[in-house]
Amino acid sequence: MSVFRLPGRPQAFLSSLPHFTPLARRMSTTRADLNSGPARLPELPRLPVPPLEQSVKLYLRSIAPLLLQSSGSDFEKEYQRREVWASELCAPGGLGERLQNRLIDIDRSSPNNWLDDNYWIKLAYHSARSPLPVNSNWWILLKHDRDIPAAVIEGAPETGRFTDWQLRRAATLIHRFMIFKGMLDRQEIIPDSSRSARWQRHWILDSLYGITRVPRKPHDHLNIPKRTSRHAIILARGHIYSLDILAPDHSPLPAKQIEANLWSIVNHVTLHPAAIPIGSLTGLDRDRWTDAREHLLSLDSTVNRDSLSVIEDGLFALCLDDSTRPAGLQGHIRTASTNYDGHNRWFDKSFSFIVENNSRASVLGEHSPCDALIAAIITDFVLAEGVGPGLCDPTVKAASHDSENLGWKKLEWVTDQRISQFIQDSKSTVEAISKDSDCDLLIFDKYGTDYIKRSVRHSPDAYIQMAIQLAWFRQVGTVVSTYETGLTRLFKHGRTETIRTLSSESYAWVKAMDSEEDCHLIYNLFIQAISAHNSYTKKASLGRAFDRHFLGLRLQHRPSEDGTLPELFTDPVFAESSEWQLSTSGISAGERFIGTGFGCFGRGYGINYLVAPSRITFGIETKHSDPRTSASQFSEHLSQALIDIRILCERATGKRPYSSPSPDSMRSESSNYRTKKCENSSAAPFPSFHHRMILSVPSFVYLGFFFLYDSPTTTHCIKKIP
């Protein structure tokens, strides 16, 4: 669950570090302000409880396109019914006021905020009983280390062996990961000198290092990290080890020492028979994993408890795979997301490095403690330096045989046939999830943020969200509720809020894109859709959206005292508006990442995107079992949508940036589009359908639009051939 908001001014980050370049400044959803300086700000403000009427009005506007699509000529009547229900909910002394007051009381008694302290993690994540792979885990595919010879990366080492470059890269990743933590602990980076930095420090220190999700009925919980932990968890061929990666003074161990220790571990692995892969149990559904864990503890409450505690307290996990399967992009995605059958993973850890035996690497994370943005910030730092030039040092490997105490310990288990059956069930479960998961990675390299910001001067995030809307509309023929994750990072322990991308403005625009309307009108509708998205984004970042608020209100309902829920909440349209068939999120531009991904919400698509100056990368996930969807087909629609939007902008404005690809050259790659001459039209710049309480941008914006963007009669717009 794809995170993030609010633009900030550029800041220097870690400029003193060699070879480090900051995360590219991203669109408003993902850019992190990594500020520095000695000043300390006052405590972050509390997440507000929005006014009831404000949330209800915003909700009514959000469902207008769904009502218009389903009701047609009855739209006015259906909309007025919801207005009546809204008035009843907001009536003085009514049920809505009681629910609001109860929520305010909850907030006043909460140490940080009403949402995070009481509800969010439990309801959004830990009450779900589905297996974690794909459903709750996210993944990041890392680019190859530039210091490792291409022949190593392109090769396919023999399955069943660990390699020099694999362990060298793993040691480097660990060392850099712990350098970041040390600098963070000392406030050498991200000091408490800005609100954004304080927000980041909380989520990194308290929600990433040393965090593990632990199964429990009826809902899971997160273990409390120990500040004294100095070890990581190493998984190899199903064996699990604890490895010290920090010195007693908590300084990071040198990379060469970590490499030698890893060699000592894999040497131990090769000398012992295959282990019982206890880590596979974490791929079960959460109730079955709870049963398996409790049975494991009942077999030996000392040995098994000690091993589980070591894993849960570990700062992170490293998964060393003795194979690379297969070498292509799909193989990389499968290895990162599920490892096909869940072998050699601990899916409950908040952060895991995965390194295959040709040195290909990825990151796997558990979503509940923190979002992928936080991991992306750290991983980008980790990858800023490679393993270093030169061949692998044979003395490092030799040292692994000489030392008697290399700071590692093999975790032991007492098991029985029932545990073996649980493991087999888990492998079957994860294998089925992996086979049903339809993943694709779209690397769109026609343009990126440079063009969007400097040439057409639009918000890159809103621009991309509109492309996603158009791609869905062309593939399915309807519009659907769309979730984009917004960050409430301005607030103490703030996390996320829903940005509802679907709007009446976006609906009007996607319908017009393939119509015979004049391109000026279509472009005007596009600008309105962009403006509506930017407006909602700002509301979400300021804690003024309504999805979290409505959740809080419904949780205050007491059937014995209040009767039935308000009709506004039992309305089928309310449920439809919260079924996120497009679940989207962006993370930092990540020049060192190949791509990212996460699972879709029920049915539809899960879409994570990275935006760089000259390209946009989309990780797209859906299910083979959903007959309406196809990741590869959606990729094609999305690529074409991005091309068509650019052509629309340039035809309507008469602008094309110097040295950029021409619209004609981009269009020539597709055979089902043609140009149509734009006409100077006196048609009103508003859609003809009902727009009371729908079009939200003030009229003066539109009055200034044609002054700024009117274009010559010689420009063209794109039209789809019937």
Nearest to 289 by CA among 97, 140, 462, 419: 419
pLDDT(311) > 70: yes
pLDDT of residue 21: 37
Nearest to 27 by CA among 522, 546, 584: 584
Rounded to the nearest integer, the mean pLDDT of the chain is: 85
pLDDT(593) > 50: yes
Strand partners, 485: 498
pLDDT of residue 396: 67
List, in sequence order, the alpha helices (H) in 190-254.
195-207
pLDDT tens digits for range 479-515: 999 999 999 989 999 999 999 999 999 999 999 999 9
Sequence-distant (≥ 6) Cβ neighbours of residue 370 within 8 angstroms: 203, 204, 207, 208, 211, 350
- Please identify which of the residues 126, 175, 239, 367 carries the catalytic annotation: 367
Query: How many whole angstroms separate alpha carbon 330 and alpha carbon 127?
Result: 31
The single residue listed with the structure tokens 């023929």 is: 477
Give the 3-state secondary structure of 449-483: HHHHHHCCCCCHHHHHHHHHHHHHHHHHCCCCCEE
Among 102-106, 207-211, 298-302, 536-540, the minimum mean pLDDT is found in: 207-211
pLDDT(713) > 50: no
Can you give the pTM of this predicted structure? 0.86
**Can you tell me whether residue 584 is helix, strand or coil?**
strand
Query: How many whole angstroms separate alpha carbon 332 and alpha carbon 58?
Result: 42
* Mean pLDDT of the 241-265 span: 96
Q: Please, which pLDDT band fits residue 678 given cuts at 50, 70 and 90?
A: low
Q: Which stretches of 570-645 are assigned E, i.e. beta strand?
A: 582-587, 593-598, 605-611, 616-623
pLDDT tens digits for range 409-466: 999 999 999 999 999 999 999 999 999 999 999 999 999 999 999 888 889 999 999 9
Measured CA to CA in angstroms, residue 553 lies from 45, 111, 339, 496 at distances of 21, 19, 41, 17
pLDDT(352) > 70: yes
- 367 an active-site residue? yes
Query: How many whole angstroms separate alpha carbon 4 and alpha carbon 588?
Result: 10
Query: How many whole angstroms separate alpha carbon 30 and alpha carbon 48?
Result: 22
Sequence-distant (≥ 6) Cβ neighbours of residue 683 within 8 angstroms: 518, 521
pLDDT of residue 415: 97
**Contact call for residues 648 and 519 (beta carbons, < 8 A):** yes
pLDDT tens digits for range 213-232: 999 999 999 998 788 999 99
Measured CA to CA in angstroms, residue 205 lies from 200, 252, 343, 536 at distances of 8, 16, 29, 30
pLDDT of residue 671: 36
Q: Please, which pLDDT band fits residue 657 given cuts at 50, 70 and 90?
A: low
Greater pLDDT, 191 or 320:
320
Take residue 224 and report the two structure tokens written for it.
């409390």
pLDDT of residue 484: 98
Greater pLDDT, 343 or 192:
343
* Mean pLDDT of the 20-24 span: 36
* Mean pLDDT of the 248-252 span: 95
Q: What domains does the chain contain, in order, with CATH numbers? A: 52-116+439-720 (3.30.559.10), 148-438 (3.30.559.70)
